[in-house]
Chain A
Amino acid sequence: MKTLTTKSQDIMGPPMDDFVGRALVAGLGLALVAGPLGCFVVWRRMAYFGATLAHAALLGIALGFLFDVSPTLGIIFVCTAVSFALVGFQRQKKLSDDTVLGILAHGALAAGLIVISFMEQLRVDLLGYLFGDILAVTTIDIVWIYGCGAVSLVVLALIWRPLLSMTVNEDMARVEGVPITRVRLVFMLLIAVVIAVAMKIVGILLIVSVLIIPSAAARRLSASPEQMAVFAAMIGCVAVAGGMASSMTWDTPAGPSIVTVAALVFFMVMFLPARTVRRSGR
Chain B
Amino acid sequence: MPDTHLTTEPDSQALISAENLTVRFGGLPAIKNVNVSIGAGEIVTLIGPNGAGKSTLVRALLGLIVPTDGTITRRPNVRIGYVPQHVSVDDTLPLTVERFLRLGGRASQDQLEKSLAEVGALDVITSQFQKISGGERRRVLLARALLRNPDLLVLDEPTSGVDVTGQADIYKLIGSIRKAHNCGVLLVSHDLHLVMAETDQVLCLNGHVCCSGHPSHVSQDPAYLELFGHESAQGLAVYTHHHDHTQDHDHENADHEEPGYHGAPHG
A174 to B65, CA, bound (A): 11
- B90 contacts chain A at the CB level, 8 A cutoff: yes
- A223 contacts chain B at the CB level, 8 A cutoff: yes
In the complex, the answer to whether B87 meets A228 with C-beta atoms within 8 Å is: no
| A residues less than 8 Å from B93 (CB atoms) | 43, 167-168, 225, 228
In the complex, the answer to whether A165 meets B103 with C-beta atoms within 8 Å is: yes
In the complex, the answer to whether A164 meets B103 with C-beta atoms within 8 Å is: yes
- B89 contacts chain A at the CB level, 8 A cutoff: yes
Count of interface residues, chain A, beta-carbon cutoff 8 Å = 26
In the complex, the answer to whether B104 meets A165 with C-beta atoms within 8 Å is: yes
| A residues less than 8 Å from B95 (CB atoms) | 168, 224-225
Instruction: Using CB atoms, name the residue of chain A closest to B84.
Output: A171
| A residues less than 8 Å from B59 (CB atoms) | 171
| B residues less than 8 Å from A42 (CB atoms) | 90, 92
| B residues less than 8 Å from A45 (CB atoms) | 90
Name the distance in Å between A47's Cβ and chain B's nearest Cβ. Answer: 11
- B35 contacts chain A at the CB level, 8 A cutoff: no
Instruction: Using CB atoms, name the residue of chain A closest to B105.
Output: A176
Known: A172-B87, A175-B82. A225 touches B99 (CB 8 A): yes
Q: Which of B63, B90, B92, B104 contacts A172 (CB 8 A)?
A: B104
A223 to B99, CA, bound (A): 11
A8 to B29, CA, bound (A): 63
Tell me which residues from 83 to 138 in chain B have a Cβ below 8 Å from any Cβ of chain A: 83-84, 87, 89-90, 92-96, 99-100, 103-105
Instruction: Using CB atoms, name the residue of chain A closest to B93.
Output: A43
Name the distance in Å between B57's Cβ and chain A's nearest Cβ. Answer: 14
| B residues less than 8 Å from A169 (CB atoms) | 84, 87, 89
A187 to B95, CA, bound (A): 20
Instruction: Using CB atoms, name the residue of chain B closest to A212.
Output: B92
- A216 contacts chain B at the CB level, 8 A cutoff: yes
Interface string of B212-250 (1 = CB under 8 A from A): 000000000000000000000000000000000000000
In the complex, the answer to whether A219 meets B104 with C-beta atoms within 8 Å is: no
In the complex, the answer to whether A219 meets B82 with C-beta atoms within 8 Å is: no
- B62 contacts chain A at the CB level, 8 A cutoff: yes
Known: A43-B93, A175-B64. A168 touches B82 (CB 8 A): no
In the complex, the answer to whether B103 meets A219 with C-beta atoms within 8 Å is: no
Instruction: Using CB atoms, name the residue of chain A closest to B90.
Output: A43
Interface string of B49-91 (1 = CB under 8 A from A): 0000000000100111000000000000000101110010110
Instruction: Using CB atoms, name the residue of chain B closest to A93.
Output: B25
| B residues less than 8 Å from A216 (CB atoms) | 92
> Hey, which bits of chain B sit against chain A, CB under 8 A?
59, 62-64, 80, 82-84, 87, 89-90, 92-96, 99-100, 103-105, 144, 148, 154
Closest 8 CB pairs of A and B: A175-B82, A165-B103, A43-B93, A222-B94, A171-B84, A169-B87, A42-B92, A219-B92
